[in-house]
Each structure stands twice: as C-alpha cells, then as structure tokens.
Structure 1
Amino acid sequence: MLKESKIGRRWTDLLSHQLDEILISNNRLGRASFKILGKWEEQRDELNSLQEHVKDLHSDMGALKERLSQSNTERDNATAELAALRTSVSSVPNPLATPHGLILPPVDFIDLDDDCIMVVSPSENTYAAATAKTKKKREDFPRLKTPKAQEPAKRARKNDTPVNRKPETKKLAGKQKAEAKMQARARSARAGPRFEVITGDEGWKDLRTSIEQKIPNPKVRTVKSKNGGIILFPEDAETAAALRRTSNLIERAPRKPRVIIKFVDRYLERETIPWALSQNNDLGIGESELPHIKPLFMLGPREGHVVHWVVEVAPETLSKIEHKSAFLGMTKCRMKFYDSVTQCYNCQGFGHTAAKCNTTQPICKHCSEKHDSRTCKSLAKRCPNCRSTTHNASSAKCPARTTATRLLIRRTDFGTQALASDSP
C-alpha cells in the first residue's frame, strides 16, 4: 500500500536519486584516485631514472680519476728524462752541420720551465741567420695584361619575362595565391547557426536524449572547442528548429560581413554615415538596406583630418560596395571587406578581447612566458600561438592568425542566410 501511494513513490524516487548521486560520487572518486596513482607511478619512474643517472656519473668519475693518475705518472717520467738529458749535455755543443757550412757559436742554455729549454747564441750565428745571408733576391713577377671588361648584357624588353627571378619571390607569390584561394573557398562555404552547450560534459547525455525525442534522426555535427565546450552545427532546417526548442543551448547566429571605409571625414557623425552612403547613386543602396548598415567603431590616427570607419552591413549591401569608392562628406573614401580578427592582449589568443578572457595569468607576446608583455626583458622571440621563434604573437605572418582569419570568414554570412529581421 505504501509503495502505491504518492508518498511512497516520492520516497522511492528520492532514495533512487540519492543512490545515483552516491554512485556518481564513487565513480568520480575512483577516477581521481586512478589519476593520483598514475602520477605517483610516473614520479617513481622518474626517481628510478635519476638514480641510474647518478650511478653512471659515479662510474664516469672513477674512470676520470684513473686517467688523472696515469697523466701524473707520465709527467713524472718525462721530468726524470729531462733531468737526465740536462746532465748529459756539455756546456759547449758540437759544431752544427748545415748546407752552408759549420756553425761554431758559443751556445748557452736557459731553463724556461721544467719541460722546456731555450738555446741562446750571443754572436747571432744561428742557422736562420746563416741561411738568410745566402738567399738570392727573387726577381719581380712580370705584370699580367689586364683583361678587357665584357660588354653588359642587353636590356630586356618590357614583354620579356625575367630570366633570373629570385626563388624567394616565387615562393612568396605561390603562398599569396594559395592563401587567396583558401579565402575564396571560405567565403563560398555555407554559413549557418551554431549551438553551444551550457551544461558541459556532465549534462550531455540528458541533452542528447532530449534532442532525439524531438527529432528521430538529427543531422548535426558535434565539435569540441579548445576550452572543452561542445558546439553543435545543424545540417538542415528541421534539426536547427529542434535545437532551438531544446534548453541548455545557446544559439550563435552567423556573423554579418564588415566593411572598412577609409579616409572618412573626422567630423562626420556616426548616424549620418548610412545616409551619406545612400546618396551615392552609383552604388544602388536602397532605403530598405539603411537599417542594416551599422557603424561599429573607428580606426586610424587620433589626431588627423580623416579616419577609418568599420561598418557592419547586410550580405546584399556588401556585394554593392566592396572594392568601390564613395563620397562621404568632403572626402573620397575607399571600401573593402574587413577581415581583421580580434586578438586578446592577456592570453594572446584570437576571437575575444582581454575584458572577456578567462586566463588568470597573462602570457607575454614576445617570449611566451607568464608575465606582462610590457615588462618583458627577454631577447629571444617565441610566438605563444604557433611556437615559432621568428616572430611574436602580433605578427601578421603568424600561421595561427591566418587560420583564425580563415575561420572568421567561414563564420561570416555572405548571402546564404536571410537578414536578422526576416529570420524566424
């Protein structure tokens, strides 16, 4: 009777929930103990290797001591031989036979050290002096005729291709072409929404069950981010609608394209920029597109007559104003696609700013160590993003920056998505 009543069922649910929590805690405790045991075994192996290294050092020291004793014995023997040689040599040496005759100088011996003796001749009748007197003066070498300078090669014509082109220039041109192709491929890719999981790995099982209850066969790609989060990319509209109805998910819409307008009059107000663009009739911007033209921020020198404005536009507007000129105020401005990626000055990563960074300790952009870049005193370069030693984190040649820019372009809507006001 107790089990069939509401109170009995409630107590049964509570007890089963508590038992599940105890089981989960036991599993976590087991995983933690397994990790600690693995670390202990690693430290034990390191200690054993260090002990073996110390034994090798002791054996090397013994071998070096034996070599030192042998060297001392050899030195003592050489000293004894030198002393015996000194006693056997008379004060006046025998005549020195040379190709130029006999040399009979009074020779003196001077001891410089235990291991060497210097022979001195006061009359300077040495072998070198005797040979120097008999040397004949060499005749001067006849002068050679100076060869005539060759005529310079004829100058190539304008249409002729360069013969000796530097390999570095060819390599750089090839890299630029490959990068341009990859950016064009990234712009042609379909940009769709993505959903970020809030609960993490712990609630992933319940979230997956909830999605499968709404749609039997969800078409979704699951990607794990660098910070450990889970991101879902739906492949069709039905799956996207099912994900929108699921809790514990945050939808991230595709990024709208941005355009940088260069050489804008500094005194032109932010609100008047969309209207000023629409006054250029050759661009063909309609009144319905003005609400989607949003000036974001300003770049360029702080003190100057002109500045650069970064403006967010709709995909339809981008195709009308990209790589074109317009008159804003009293200046002629150039417009192009803005693909600069945001970089954090705390962790040196891409895609966020220092105000939203989760890293507690700053990372230096010069040497990759954990300190502020403004206080770095190291002369060695090391990029914290690609680990290269030829540039720092703010370099435009960094491969990590190129990858981040390419990812930013892939997440930008270039016309495959509807406007934000028209989307459901």
Structure 2
Amino acid sequence: MGQQETVSTSLAGAVAEDIASSLAGVDAELARRYPGDPGTRQPVHTVYVPADAFSATTVREWGDQALAALDRHAPDAAALAAVLGIPDDLAGPVYDRVRAKLEREPVEDLRIDFEDGYGPRPDAEEDAAAARAARLVADACREGTAAPYTGIRMKCMEAAVRDRGIRTLDIFLTGLMEAGGLPEGLVLTLPKVTYPEQVTAMVRLCEEFEKARGLAPGRIGFEIQIETTQAVLGPDGRATVARMIDAAQGRATSLHYGTFDYSASCGVSAAHQSLDHPVADHAKAVMQVAAAGTGVRLSDGSTNVLPVGPTAQVHDAWRLHHALVRRSLARAYYQGWDMHPGHLPTRYAAVYAFYREGLERAAARLAAYVGRAGGDVMDEPATAKALSGYLLRGLDCGAVDPAETERLTGLTRSDLERLSGRPTAG
C-alpha cells in the first residue's frame, strides 16, 4: 500500500446543499421533459391503407404480394444482391430473413387512413367505415393476425374537417372498447399539425375519452405528423415542433415526416419532392433535435415511385427505395412509410443489411468497452449506449438473433437494455 493522501476542501457543506436546492426545479424539469428511451420496440415502417380498402386479410395480402414480387423479379439471393448491391457475404442471410419476415410478419405497423388516402365522404359512409375498422382490428388482435402496431390516421384539427376527425376517432375507439378494450399496439396519427394548440386539443380528446370509458389517465397516446412548414418554424421564429412535443403532455409517441405535403408547402416542384431533398433534411434535422431524449421517436416519410411493371422498371424502383431507406437509417431515422407491397422486400433488405453488416464490429466495440479491453477505438459511455441501442434495434426487427449478440458480446438482452438506457422488464 502506498502512502495515503491527505484530502482537504475549502467549501462549506452548505454550498452544495444550496446549489442542490437552487437546481431542484431544473432537475425535475429535466426528468419530465427528457425521460429517455421508452424501452419499447419501434417498428421499422408504417404501412398506410385507405379505410375503404382495409380488410381482414390486408396484412397477409401485402405479404403475399411482396413474396410474389420477389419470386418474379428476384427469385434468389444472388438476383436480389445484384439489383441492390448487397455484398456477397450478406446476400444469403439477408434474402432468407426477408422471405421469412414476409411469411411471418410482413407489416410491423399498419395505419388505416381516414385522411388523404380516404378523402371526404358522406358522414354515414365514414361512420360505417370507422365502426368497421374497429371491428376488424379487434377481431385481428383477438385472432393473433394483427400487425404488432395498428391504428388510424384521422382527419386533422383544421376547422373544415375537425368535427369529422373527432367523430371518426370517437367511433373507432368506442368500437374497440365495446369489442374488449384498446389493444396494446394501438397507434393514432394526428396529421397536418400547424400549431401547438391543435396538439393540446388532441390531448383534451384523449383525456375526455379516458374519463368517459374509465381508462387510466395517459392510456391513449398519438403520433404527430410533421407536414407543414409551420410545424417546423413558427411565425415567431421558434421551432414549433419542440412546442408541440411539450403540448402533448407526455402523450406524443412519435413524429412522422410527411414528404409530399411538406415539400409542396415549401414550393418544391413535384418532380423533386423526395426524402433526400434539402428541405426534407432540414425539417427532419429540426425534428430530430427537438425529440432527442424526450422518448418521442422519429419516422421518415415515403417514396411515391412504385415498384410495378416490367422487371427493369421494378428494379429501378427497388434501387431507389433501398438507397433511400439506407440513407434514412444512417441518419438515425429508424422508421419510414411504405406505400405499396412491392416496397416491403427492399425495406427489409435495407434494414437487415444495415444491422447485419455492422454486427460484428459493433459487438466487438461493446465487448471491449464492457471488458475495458482496449482495441483500436476508445469508446465513451454515450457511444456504448449507441452501440447497445443499435444491437437492440437489430434484435427487435429480426435482423439478428439473441444467440448471435450474446455470443459476440457476452451480454444478455437485459445487459444491452441497461447499457442503452432502456427501462428493463425487471
């Protein structure tokens, strides 16, 4: 044992106590506004289906059509890899997992659309469609055939359609309650939000429904769709999206970027409206910073180039979609929209390749961090958090298996959740 150091201080103990007292409000505010990751699975995509086109077999039909597209246009791993530029060592594992996913769980998040994809209808027709949607969702949840996440996109809070949107939401939620209760994977989307007060109105709707049906306060959450310029930058020059998250009072689950409405509102011509346009990057960067640490997740938008027609045309659309999905993933937008069954093969191919190509490197860095074994990169706690989050997202979507991550890192899922900051089941 070496000589013990003598430790001296100059500040009175009351100084730290006074500082703690002065910062108590800030401590509480940080805990309220920035709770961190919600600890739940985030779907890799959202599929939008017009309410009148939704049926009990929609999910299975999308999977079957996606498999048929693979059979016709990329019947084996080598063919798909050649189209998308997937490395040879990943081609087989990615292709096999894509096919298995399309057979087992082709849609992770389904939104029954009563907004742009449905349009204005006679009230009696929309009433019936909302009641039917509730019945079909309840049946699917009971039978185990529903997508893990399912819900509706109502009409927005603008005056012209506000009453219609509120009524549709009420009919749908009431139908679910009368069929046995709200499902765990229920997701509601509020579109075309321009002012925080519209989010406050949505909170009021949720509160009133919870009271009317005896639900626990806070049971109903919702997504905020960012598709107007006013949602990103308000007339006062402030970032409106941050104020919307605050107005949601903990009920906002995610922010969804609306590619085409937002681009159009910025004056971008139709030919150039895309996920990778500079106006899209700016909007999503503001959304990303506003949501960071709040537990509110981000979703990118969609491409309207559909993989239909002859094989060459399908391949072009697949390459575009695959590149856009990879671009989003690299920018930490881990979810997006898919508009056609033919987008599912490239959605999952891009997602699975993204997580598999970085698996061994991420696992080695995390294992070195945990074991303090050094290596060629010296990582900090924040990076370890990101590495474990990366592995967890790969596990959630089926890109990697628990046995793989445990073998490569020596860590269980609970270990990864602890390092990532996710709440654990225990």
Give TM-score scaled by structure 1 length: 0.20
Bigger helix share? 2
Give TM-score scaled by structure 2 length: 0.20
Bigger strand share? 1
Looking at both structures, which has the greater relative contact order when contacts are Cα pairs under 8 Å and sequence separation is at least 6?
2
